């Protein structure tokens, strides 16, 4: 069976990241100006639902009006926890933008009292580097099997296109 090792980190309340990059968050006005800023990889309906907050909280790192890093909530939050997902434009990797977006996402969710989780594939060096930059605490290394039902959909689980 095919699978992968996944690392799980806790984003403690002390986590901050100083960066000059401009951050947009889902709790602030201005999401409409980002409608045309879909960096790719998001279906148009899914992007609109993300910006509208229907897929959970998010934080973006911006270069001008270009979205260069995204930290979002890829799974439904529970009453006690929330997990983040991170993406960075390959042309902007290594500059701390994902760490800045992740710290902003954590600051957005910290007041809810949820346990904040950062997970990544063990072989994803860039994602592991984000965890290192933020000083995240490793809490688990688990083996995950690939789905056998063939659902390779990359759509967000809460996206209306899944229904």
pLDDT at 98: 98
User: 3-143: CATH homologous superfamily?
Assistant: Gcn5-related N-acetyltransferase (GNAT) (3.40.630.30)
pTM over 0.85: yes
How is the chain split into domains, by residue range?
3-143
Q: Grade residue 151 by pLDDT with cuts at 50, 70 and 90.
A: low
pLDDT digits over 98-139, tens only?
999 999 999 999 999 999 999 999 999 999 999 999 999 999
Tell me the two tokens of residue 68: 């260069």
| 88 within 8 A of 98, measured Cβ to Cβ | yes
pLDDT at 153: 67
* In the predicted structure, residue 31 carries a pLDDT above the cut 80: no
pLDDT at 42: 94
């Amino acid at each position: 069976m095919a699978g992968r090792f996944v690392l799980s980190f806790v984003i403690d309340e002390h986590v901050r990241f100083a960066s000059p990059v401009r951050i947009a968050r889902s709790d602030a006005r201005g999401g409409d100006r980002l409608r045309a800023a879909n960096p790719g990889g998001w279906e148009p309906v899914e992007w609109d639902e993300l910006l509208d907050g229907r897929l959970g909280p998010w934080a973006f790192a911006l270069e001008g009006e270009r979205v260069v890093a995204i930290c979002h909530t890829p799974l439904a939050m529970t009453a006690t926890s929330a997990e983040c997902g991170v993406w960075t434009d390959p042309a902007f990797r290594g500059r701390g933008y994902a760490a800045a977006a992740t710290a902003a996402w954590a600051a957005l969710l910290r007041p809810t009292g949820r346990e904040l989780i950062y997970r990544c594939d063990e072989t994803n060096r860039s994602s592991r580097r984000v965890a290192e930059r933020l000083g995240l605490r490793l809490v688990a290394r688990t083996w995950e099997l690939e789905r056998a039902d063939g659902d390779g959909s990359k759509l967000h689980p809460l996206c209306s296109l899944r229904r």
